[in-house]
């Protein structure tokens, strides 16, 4: 060894001795030594005997590498970490302790003596994810699964619901005030302004102002016609007064600012320069909307007041019920409706999902609207999959084709189902397709139960994190949809609650960090294919959970949802549906 290397090693050893109280690098005169067995709150570390590496001959080093019997990997302790531990500290300390033990032959006793201190991440109190994370989950299926026009639940369905709500408020003003009205104005902010053009936000907002609702609108007859006739003026009835509205009344305003939500918009009824009525709104993801001063509607208490998946598992064990049965009990107790009424709504959603896949698969190859000039491919993928002889390849191909079909329908602006969002509208219909007559051939009742279990997963993600890509990137849309799909499969296959939870956890975990970077602001690239990958991952999550030992899973669903919320908060705004980063920047359109 050169003197320079020796000096560096000596300096490093002295520095580490000052910090840790011992030298982790054996010296030149070091004898073979056996490090102590270290029991930590995370596992048992058993360092093997080792010799100063710089005094080994080549043959000894080769023998050392071949000798596996003397090498003891850390044995994991499967008990839960003690209170006060967090998972990041667990990973860092375990890695550090293992490296020191194996490479140096000694371990720092302080690593075993000092418990990890939890460092909870404090999310911005203004975030919707925080405001909604107190108390039991109260969301209902008819609030969660919505039918409406694509391509985005937050940028299309939400704005249409907002302007329709504003119109209903406006017509309730005294006629004397309405007689003064001269115009309706809508201002879009944040992500709505940044990518609204590609999402058709201005057309959706205008449609709501002139009296259309998402679930009943004919997108071709109304929205497509608005696109073809951008200068057309539409009459708006305000009692006995009629005013005109057009796309020019929908204003793309500031994209950057300290907005209450990334999807903020205002609606105003004007009398010249005078404001007769004004309301600030927020499209918070999944087609859900709020407004300034919003208070949730009063609801009956749930039979099973859960806030976490841990609560759900405890209730299912106590009462020996499935997740779907728990969900149905809460639907009836909160809403006051009967099981038959809940099932009737679920049947409508099943019918809509079947229709979107069928229509998308039957559509001829065409070019989607917008500057990308993207060709559709669902029909081609379906035909190739049907010709495939190997069943595994055929299955993956058919699931992918169904997801592409639903997502391409969304990109066309046709009616889709938020499950949980428009951008992820291909995932759950594809999962349903794979469970339906084209695949596993489960009964309609099993499909209903699967939708209920999937909704529970979506509720928890909405409750503790977000469903809006503008708040959390694509992990909040495709990731949550994939987790919902995994739960739907598990429930439809009568898997135990813990297996369903594990399946959803796996599907969500492996979407963490996924950004939302729509090219040119259109829900096409990478959005359409992501639905196919999300649907396939639903099956992957279920199959892993089904075939593993459930108790051996180290990551629980609630921790992964917390990771979703943390990642959403810390993600750079360029990757939150602004088209300012990722593929939206790197891909050059010719």
Q: Read off the pLDDT of residues 350-366 as tens digits, 9 standing for 90 and up.
A: 999 999 999 999 999 99
pLDDT lower than 70: segments of the chain = 1-133
Residues 272 and 309 in one domain: no
Residues 35 and 99 in one domain: yes
Q: What is the pLDDT of residue 132?
A: 56
Residues 72 and 190 in one domain: no
How many domains does the chain divide into?
A: 3
For residue 105, tell me if it sits in a domain: yes
Cβ atoms of 282 and 155 within 8 Å: the answer is no
For residue 319, tell me if it sits in a domain: yes
CB atoms within 10 A of CB 586: 9
Q: What range defines the domain where residue 56 resides?
A: 3-113
Residues 380 and 513 in one domain: yes
For residue 137, tell me if it sits in a domain: no
Cβ atoms of 166 and 158 within 8 Å: the answer is no
Q: Distance between CA 149 and CA 165 in Å, rounded?
A: 17
Question: In 3-state terms, what secondary structure has residue 38?
Answer: strand
Question: In 3-state terms, what secondary structure has residue 35?
Answer: coil
User: 234 has which bridge partners?
Assistant: 245
Q: What is the largest CA-CA distance in the chain?
A: 100
Where a domain ends, among 61, 89, 113?
A: 113
Residues 305 and 277 in one domain: no
Per-residue tokens: 403 = 């997801």
Question: In 3-state terms, what secondary structure has residue 132?
Answer: coil
Strand ranges inside 408-476, DSSP E: 415-418
For residue 68, tell me if it sits in a domain: yes
Residues 275 and 405 in one domain: no
Cβ atoms of 374 and 525 within 8 Å: the answer is yes
Q: What is the pLDDT of residue 58?
A: 45
Give phi and psi for 522, each to the nearest 5. Answer: -100, 145
For residue 554, tell me if it sits in a domain: yes
For residue 166, tell me if it sits in a domain: yes
Output the CA torsion 72→78→80→84 (10° steps). Answer: 10
Residues 348 and 440 in one domain: yes
Q: What is the pLDDT of residue 185?
A: 98
The helix or strand, by DSSP H or E, that contains position 543, with its residue range, turns out to be: helix 527-547
Helices (H) and strands (E) in the chain, counts: 24, 14
Please, what is the Cα angle at 546 between 448 and 358, to 5 degrees?
Answer: 40
Q: Distance between CA 369 and CA 348 in Å, rounded?
A: 29
The helix or strand, by DSSP H or E, that contains position 50, with its residue range, turns out to be: strand 49-50
Residues 447 and 416 in one domain: yes
Residues 6+ apart with CB under 8 A from 471: 127, 128, 129, 261, 262, 284, 285, 568, 576
Residues 275 and 373 in one domain: no
For residue 139, tell me if it sits in a domain: no
Residues 308 and 452 in one domain: yes
Where a domain ends, among 291, 308, 327?
A: 291
Residues 366 and 457 in one domain: yes
For residue 159, tell me if it sits in a domain: yes
CATH of the domain at 254: 3.30.1330.90
Residues 355 and 420 in one domain: yes
Where a domain ends, among 243, 265, 291?
A: 291
SS3 per-residue string spanning 150-207 = CCCHHHHHHHHHHHHHHHHHHCCCCHHHHCCCCEEEEEECCHHHHHHHHHCHHHHHHH
Burial label for 335, CB within 10 Å (0-12, 13-18, 19+), is middle
Output the CA torsion 357→359→360→365 (10° steps). Answer: 160
């Amino acid at each position: 060894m050169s003197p320079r290397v020796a000096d560096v090693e000596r300096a490093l050893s002295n520095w580490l001795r000052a910090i840790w109280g011992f030298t982790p690098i054996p010296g030149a005169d070091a004898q073979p030594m056996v490090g102590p067995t270290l029991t930590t709150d995370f596992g048992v570390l058993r360092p093997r005997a080792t010799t100063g590496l710089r005094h080994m001959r080549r043959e000894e080093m080769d023998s050392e590498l071949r000798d596996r019997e003397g090498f003891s990997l850390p044995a994991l302790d499967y008990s839960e970490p003690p209170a006060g531990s967090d998972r990041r500290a667990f990973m860092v300390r375990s890695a550090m302790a293992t490296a020191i033990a194996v490479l140096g032959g000694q371990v720092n006793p302080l690593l075993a003596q000092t418990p990890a201190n939890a460092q909870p991440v404090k999310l911005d109190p203004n975030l919707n994810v925080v405001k909604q994370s107190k108390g039991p989950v109260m969301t209902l299926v008819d609030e969660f699964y919505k039918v409406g026009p694509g391509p985005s639940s937050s940028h299309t369905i939400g704005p249409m619901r907002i302007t329709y709500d504003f119109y209903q408020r406006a017509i309730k003003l005294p006629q004397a005030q309405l007689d003064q009205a001269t115009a309706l104005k809508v201002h879009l902010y944040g992500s709505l302004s940044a990518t609204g053009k590609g999402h058709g936000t201005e057309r959706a907002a205008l449609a709501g102002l002139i009296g259309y609702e998402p679930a009943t609108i004919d997108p071709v007859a109304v929205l497509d016609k608005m696109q073809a006739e951008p200068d057309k003026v539409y009459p708006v009835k305000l009692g006995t007064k009629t005013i005109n509205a057009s796309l020019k009344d929908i204003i793309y305003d500031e994209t950057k600012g300290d907005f209450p939500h990334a999807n903020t918009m205002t609606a105003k009824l004007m009398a010249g320069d005078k404001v007769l009525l004004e309301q600030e709104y927020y499209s918070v993801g999944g087609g859900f909307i709020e407004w300034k001063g919003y208070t949730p509607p009063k609801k009956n208490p749930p039979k099973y007041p859960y806030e976490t998946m841990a609560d759900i598992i405890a209730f299912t064990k106590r009462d020996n019920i499935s997740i779907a049965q728990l969900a149905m009990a809460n639907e009836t107790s909160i809403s006051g409706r009967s099981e038959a009424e809940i099932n009737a709504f679920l049947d409508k959603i099943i019918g809509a999902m079947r229709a979107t896949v069928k229509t998308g698969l039957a559509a001829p190859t065409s070019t989607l609207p917008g500057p990308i000039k993207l060709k559709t491919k669902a029909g081609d993928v379906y035909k190739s999959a049907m010709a495939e002889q190997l069943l595994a390849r055929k299955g993956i191909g058919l699931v992918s084709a169904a997801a592409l079909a639903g997502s391409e329908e969304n990109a066309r602006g046709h009616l889709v189902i938020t499950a949980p969002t428009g951008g992820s509208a291909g995932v759950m219909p594809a999962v349903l397709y794979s469970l339906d007559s084209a695949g596993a051939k489960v009964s309609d009742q099993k499909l209903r139960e699967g939708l209920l279990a999937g909704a529970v997963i979506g509720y928890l993600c909405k409750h503790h994190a977000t469903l809006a890509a503008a708040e959390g990137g694509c992990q909040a849309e495709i990731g949550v949809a994939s987790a919902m799909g995994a739960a739907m499969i598990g429930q439809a296959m009568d898997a135990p609650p813990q297996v369903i939870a594990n399946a959803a956890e796996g599907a969500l975990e492996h979407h963490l960090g996924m950004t939302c970077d729509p090219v040119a602001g259109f829900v096409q690239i990478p959005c359409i294919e992501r639905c196919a990958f999300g649907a396939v991952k639903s099956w992957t999550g279920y199959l892993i959970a089904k075939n593993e030992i459930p108790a051996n899973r180290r990551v629980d669903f609630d921790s992964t949802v917390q990771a979703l919320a943390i990642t959403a908060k810390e993600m750079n705004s360029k990757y939150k549906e602004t088209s300012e980063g990722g593929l939206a920047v790197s891909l050059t359109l010719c």
